[in-house]
Structure 1
Amino acid sequence: MIRWREGTVRGIRREWPGAVELDVTVGGDGDCRALAYPALVGRPEPGDTVLLNTTALAMGLGTGGYAMVVAVPDRLPPDPIGPGHLVKARYTPLQTTVLGVDEQDSPHHALLQDADSLTGMPVIVADLHSALPPILAGLLADRPGTRVVYVMPDGGALPAWFSMSLARLKEIGALAATVTVGQAFGGDLEAVTVHTGLLAARLILAADVVVLAQGPGNLGTGTRWGFSGVSAGEAVNAASVLSGRPVGSLRVSEGDARERHQGVSHHSITAYGRVALARADIPVPELGGPFGERVAAQAAQLGDRHTLVPTAVTDLRDICAIAEQDWGVRMSTMGRGLDEDLAYFLTAAAAGRHTATLL
């Protein structure tokens, strides 16, 4: 189940908040890229011996194609200090203890103990992490200064530190903060469930809007139900039961070669049409032409359960391109850039644009 290797750090490639990318020599396997989370294992330095999990590397995974540093055995980090009894990545070799906003030792426990309402705050739900930058681009272009908090559940990467785009979006102020929920960790705040994560975003971080999407590295099996992003429907339910305003971002593609993802992805139809029991606004991009007609017809399947909102996208390509350049965050999904799958980014940006009208 795990491929274990011992390696030697040759150098530091780059680093961003929470993560360090390394060049590592691994015995007879040659050189490879490795990733370390200093908060978990300490900061590896050139010359260090590191214990590696090379499973994802051997499988050739795109998003997670790193050797992961499990330990720096000759230079262990100091014991952690401070409060926190909430264990995440539970009962794995790298389980970590964090201070949860909802635990008894938290200074926010009293605030959250009986908290029950988002007071109408919009919650934009998407099934892929790559939707986050275009959603923000569409929202902030129409409503600059909006305070946006990202709530990250545990469907993809567990450490928020894995996402370079997340680190950059926070650095430039497009995102105010991150809350990691479930088994995910590494956010500015930690919470046990999506529900307390949403409440923390609103009541502690003073969010105007939440964007909720899994971290990088989703898991899919080519089946209707075997996709980690199905939880987008559950997030709609959570936002609604807490008196929020759910907005469902459709996953639309013209560049994906797989027929089941052409137009509106079957995952969106499942998440919003079957899993989501509460009503949400579903922005439908006005893409024009035969492809736009196809998208509108597919989205119409959701019309009995949700409120479909036709949304203009005429200028959103330029808005996404400017955001990509100014923010230094690449618009990319499944390896496809802005103009390689324009419909995907326009649709996500349309969810942000519609949400701006709700504020």
Structure 2
Amino acid sequence: MLRWERGTVKAALGSWPGVDRLEIELEGGAEILTAIAYRELTGCPEPGETVLLNTNAVRRELGTGGDAMVVARPEVLPEAEAIDGHMVKARYTPMQTMVEAIDDPASEHYETLRSAKRLEGMPVIVADLHSSLPALIAGIRAQRRSLRIASVHTDAAALPAAYSRSAARLREADLLSAVISAGQSFGGDLEAVTVHSALLGAKHVVGADVAIVIQGPGNLGTGTGWGFSGVQAAEALHAAAVLGGRGVATLRVSEADERERHRGLSHHSSTVYGRALLTPVQLPVVPRHDSRYNGFHESVRKQVKSTILKPAKKRGVLHQLTEVDAKGLRDALEEMPVRMTTMGRTLAEDPSPFLYAALAGRCAAKLAPGE
């Protein structure tokens, strides 16, 4: 269901690559809303323009950042950019968009993708929440600052890769070499039809030493056993294994989440790694001998053993519980140019989600060739 509303652009409130945030006065002057316009889809609306908005998520108070979405500019037809490729993303929706995919026959990278078969041992980190991205990079850089990092933006949550201000800021700071939007997601530095192609592109087009596969902002969860978008993490790890990558699974944990199913080790991690995953991966945890090791970390370790390692072993999948030195990771997290927040909680309020993501990053850096 779409909820349509009409308004007039009053002012530009700010922008980041590919996205403009606008102040909109609704028809009749009854209300002021903020709205997001994706330049790839609508161009940039100017003050005084009439725009059509999709306000269904705003009116239902869903987690879209409080913004409406600009769907059309009735008085302006943005010029279409000419491209050689024929790949379509957001297919068969009113906003389907043509992209230059690296695995399209018209792409300059097509022959590279045709000949690329393996990841040659490249570490591939997966995580449940997009908020883990800067922490994963902090962990990688804390171990090896020179590694090239590519992020694969999957289609489990926000389809426009441009929606991620974190990824945009990390790109601007040269902490992330490229974003590759895979599946139905679009708007990355590079486009790929599948996560498999995106991973091969990360290795052979971007020249990445480490790849991160993660859904965009706006993950979906229902409180049911399997009804959450992070289940897609298992598929990403399967892709990495098939292509000869080395899988590293980020544990989603929390000391402050009010929901019991996410406190300590999240049921998302237990389900994905313990029940959905068919290939062995490394599961980074805090070492017992670490000065930071406490009752919380012991509890997480016990949960990992009982809800991930044990059920996976019964299915013949032997994951590796990997102790990773946490020394210096808090400083590395605090040095990042992106504000750390997850589910509304900051690094100071709930440090454990970011610490475990950084552990995964450091683990992957150690696995990268040349260490």
- After TM superposition, the score normalised by the length of structure 1 is 0.96
Residue 294 of structure 1: how far off its partner (Å)? 0.7
- What's the CA shift string for 1:157-204, capped at 9, x where partnerless? 000111111100000011000100000000111111000010011011
Unpaired runs of 5+ residues, structure 1, are none
Aligned to 1:351: 360
Aligned to 2:346: 337
Q: Aligned equivalents of 1:199 and 1:173: distance in 2? A: 21
Contact 1:125–1:232, Cα closer than 8 Å, also in 2: yes
Contact 2:87–2:100, Cα closer than 8 Å, also in 1: yes
Aligned to 1:240: 241
Aligned to 2:6: 6
Unpaired runs of 5+ residues, structure 2, are none
Q: Aligned equivalents of 2:328 and 2:47: distance in 1? A: 48
Contact 1:56–1:64, Cα closer than 8 Å, also in 2: no
AA paired with 2:253? V
2:301 to 290, 296, 310: 296
SS of alignment partner, residue 213 of structure 1: strand
AA paired with 1:316? L
Residue 312 of structure 1: how far off its partner (Å)? 2.7
Residue 81 of structure 1: how far off its partner (Å)? 0.9
- What's the CA shift string for 1:265-321, capped at 9, x where partnerless? 010011111111111111013452221111010111333331110223243222211
Q: Aligned equivalents of 2:34 and 2:367: distance in 1? A: 44
Contact 2:142–2:329, Cα closer than 8 Å, also in 1: no
Q: Which has the larger displacement, 110-119 or 136-145? A: 110-119
SS of alignment partner, residue 357 of structure 1: helix
Task: Map 1:64-103; keep pairs closer than 5 Å.
Answer: 64-103=65-104
Q: Aligned equivalents of 1:239 and 1:24: distance in 2? A: 44
Q: Aligned equivalents of 1:316 and 1:194: distance in 2? A: 29
Contact 1:88–1:182, Cα closer than 8 Å, also in 2: yes
- What's the CA shift string for 1:194-228, capped at 9, x where partnerless? 00010011011100000110000001100111000
Q: How many residues align?
A: 355
- What's the CA shift string for 1:217-246, capped at 9, x where partnerless? 001100111000011111111100000001
CA RMSD, 1 decimal: 1.2
Residue 114 of structure 1: how far off its partner (Å)? 4.1
Q: Aligned equivalents of 2:84 and 2:276: distance in 1? A: 37
Q: Aligned equivalents of 1:81 and 1:315: distance in 2? A: 48
Aligned to 1:110: 111
- What's the CA shift string for 1:43-63, capped at 9, x where partnerless? 101101001001111111233
- What's the CA shift string for 1:321-347, capped at 9, x where partnerless? 122xxx2x1101011000111111111
Q: Aligned equivalents of 1:140 and 1:173: distance in 2? A: 12
1:306 to 313, 319, 322: 319
- After TM superposition, the score normalised by the length of structure 2 is 0.93
User: Are 2:18 and 1:18 aligned?
Assistant: yes
Q: Aligned equivalents of 2:365 and 2:37: distance in 1? A: 38
Contact 1:284–1:299, Cα closer than 8 Å, also in 2: no
AA paired with 1:319? A
Q: Aligned equivalents of 1:298 and 1:114: distance in 2? A: 42
Aligned to 2:131: 130
Contact 2:210–2:365, Cα closer than 8 Å, also in 1: no
SS of alignment partner, residue 215 of structure 2: coil
Q: Aligned equivalents of 2:208 and 2:328: distance in 1? A: 27
Q: Aligned equivalents of 2:285 and 2:304: distance in 1? A: 7
- What's the CA shift string for 1:106-136, capped at 9, x where partnerless? 1222221242200000001101100000010
Aligned to 1:27: 27
AA paired with 2:301? A
Calculate percent identity across the aligned residue pairs.
Answer: 52
User: Are 2:82 and 1:49 aligned?
Assistant: no
Aligned to 2:263: 262
AA paired with 2:31? G
Q: Aligned equivalents of 2:276 and 2:45: distance in 1? A: 43
Aligned to 2:122: 121
Q: Aligned equivalents of 2:339 and 2:333: distance in 1? A: 10
AA paired with 1:307? Q
Q: Aligned equivalents of 1:353 and 1:81: distance in 2? A: 42
Contact 2:58–2:64, Cα closer than 8 Å, also in 1: no
Contact 1:16–1:167, Cα closer than 8 Å, also in 2: yes
Contact 1:134–1:348, Cα closer than 8 Å, also in 2: yes
- What's the CA shift string for 1:29-74, capped at 9, x where partnerless? 4001100011211110110100100111111123342110001110
Contact 2:57–2:64, Cα closer than 8 Å, also in 1: no
SS of alignment partner, residue 91 of structure 1: coil
